[in-house]
A and B are shown apart, each in its own frame.
Chain A
């Protein structure tokens, strides 16, 4: 054992001037600089993300609230069916003058003089014109309601809705704004009486397209997007994975496969609108499929997603260690067995990640859908992927083109819904990954 403290042991000395300059300080400075670059890049990214999210949320959260007016509506037989023809003429209940019921209830509520037409018109303008269909549907569903007085919650007209949410600048001259002073006064009167109030807007999820903001929703777009995602998933995952396995594991490496590989990489970079043109030419003009249909949209998005999935899957297959293949082959497993029993399960997390990235990309895609006619005013829910529908990003695009204040908040509201849809998809992907990764 050596003992450093013992006087018999000499420790070598080294004069300071013999120390070489090997640039230690410079190296550490470079490292610090690099870290600063990295941190500032991430901070900048986070800042923009926060800015984006806060703008969208602050603009859009009001879209999830809707002003409603609850009025005791008297379903007067005199108005709905003055000649008592409803048992013989089915049309009678469909064509009755329902707005009159709303007018009467409102006049009564506000204590107006029913003969002063302009004033009454201003009052009835506060209620959405969708009240007509709402009351009609109630009566058609249950004709026994005629003759009774029932409290009905009606949508407020979009401008009243905006005014009640404080989005309209009341200091502007009355002639320059859509909400008149008298209407504001009534609005406050109704609000004080508890008749007019804000409540959660279920309509934005369930309504289809409408030119009246208060009656417009992303319901049809949600269903359309859902159909398309299912079609994309069902088509692109098996096709993409099968193509990747063949190219990666079975195909001979020659000019032809090189060419295919280059083409797949190029296709991944082709602008999406080109896929829209392709879909228009092939699926609609040549194959005669219906326009605006989620089926065609799904096909187009499948074509667009395939290269992404193939590239991700091939990368995942390549990343499986060759020792696993050797182990299986050495045991006498056939190539098929090696791939399906060992390689594919290990590549699964990577494949799923690629697929979800592709799907998320497809979900947010607008341009190709415009070309196949999915930018449409669709009021009714599509019963199948063959019926006309729209998609979430297309709905956002259409609402962004509208002028009304109420559509501004709805645009942001739809963006929030799209983001939530995406978050759920990614969540599903993460859960699936976990499931596969847990098998080591």
Chain B
């Protein structure tokens, strides 16, 4: 099957794809301040879901509830129910370490460890015991870097520090690092906001390819980016989910006036 055909098949399946994560009545409080108001948002499997909205609208907050990164913030409280497959991820029986091995994350600013490229990628598999022998590690490093489209650029300097790469390469290294753990979902928090247009294009292309194997949720400030990379888009405003729809529909004929205004650049 050609690439375009795969694309088409995926798009046609769109409305029948199973839901990977279900957020029901999700509210987040930072101390007394409420940052999210009863958000109901579903994440479809093998789909790129873009979260858009003006600054401070709660899209990053929602993203971080999906792998419980909010746990690390003092005074942060999450109510409602979020499931991954059938598991309630806020259930006491779910270990946060296990959850984060299933739901990986890529951050706004590239944050490779100040170690070698090899160690950056192999760290996740090492702590989770996914690889044992040197050969296993070599393989997981190579395949992860290949999936992140970085292998050809760094294969001769795997022992050099990851922090010595360019910004775009660092971000793809962070994606490789997340991919190496073989998560089911990858969360991306404005992954291109610190990158130049060429590096951005590479990362976007990469997101496109990763979609075949992973469910991706991406927060972005760039409307064009959301339109380019995602199949579903969710619009947040002031802590509320305004609208969630197919990306095509969202950018051509949104249901909500606020979405229309935001996309047209009337506020934000």
Partner-B contacts on A (CB < 8 A): 253, 321, 323-334, 337, 341-342, 346, 439-440
Contact = CB atoms under 8 A, between A and B. Distances in A.
Contact of B163 (A333, A337, A440): A440
A439 B104 contact: no
A323 B111 contact: yes
Contact of A332 (B106, B111, B181): B181
Contact of A327 (B98, B99, B111, B127): B111
Interface in B107-152: 107, 109, 111-115, 123-124, 127-128
Contacts of B174: 327
Q: Which of A325, A327, A332 has the most CB of B within 10 A?
A: A332
Contacts of A332: 97-101, 104, 124, 127-128, 181
Q: Which of A323, A331, A341 has the most CB of B within 10 A?
A: A331
Contacts of B123: 328, 331, 333, 341
A342 B109 CA distance: 17
Nearest to A337: B127
Contacts of B115: 439-440
B107 A323 contact: yes
Contacts, number: 67
A323 B107 CA distance: 8
8 closest residue pairs by CB, A with B: A330-B105, A332-B100, A323-B111, A332-B101, A440-B114, A327-B111, A331-B124, A440-B161
Q: Is chain A's binding surface mostly helix, strand, loop or mixed?
A: helix
Contacts of B105: 326, 330
B98 A326 contact: no
A324 to B, nearest CB: 6
B12 interface: no
11 contacts: A327-B107, A327-B112, A330-B100, A331-B127, A331-B178, A331-B181, A332-B98, A333-B123, A341-B127, A346-B114, A440-B114
A325 B107 CA distance: 12
Q: Which of A326, A328, A330 has the most CB of B within 10 A?
A: A330
A206 B178 CA distance: 61
B177 interface: yes
Contacts of A329: 69, 72, 100
A330 B70 CA distance: 11
Q: Which of B100, B107, B163 has the most CB of A within 10 A?
A: B100
B86 interface: no
A114 B105 CA distance: 98
B74 interface: yes
Contacts of B72: 325-326, 329
B67 interface: yes
Contacts of A330: 67, 69, 100, 104-107, 178
A152 B64 CA distance: 84
Nearest to A252: B74
A439 B72 CA distance: 27
Q: Which of A253, A326, A328 has the most CB of B within 10 A?
A: A326
Interface in B176-217: 177-178, 181
A325 B174 CA distance: 14
A439 B69 CA distance: 28
Contacts of A327: 107, 111-113, 174, 177
A334 B109 contact: no
Contacts of A334: 97
Contacts of A325: 72
Contact of B177 (A323, A331, A337, A439): A331
A321 B114 CA distance: 11
B124 A323 contact: no
A326 B69 contact: yes
B74 A253 contact: yes
A439 B101 CA distance: 27
Nearest to B109: A323
A327 B115 CA distance: 13
Contacts of A326: 69, 72, 105, 107, 111
B127 A439 contact: no
B176 to A, nearest CB: 12
Q: Which of B106, B113, B128 has the most CB of A within 10 A?
A: B113
Contacts of A321: 111
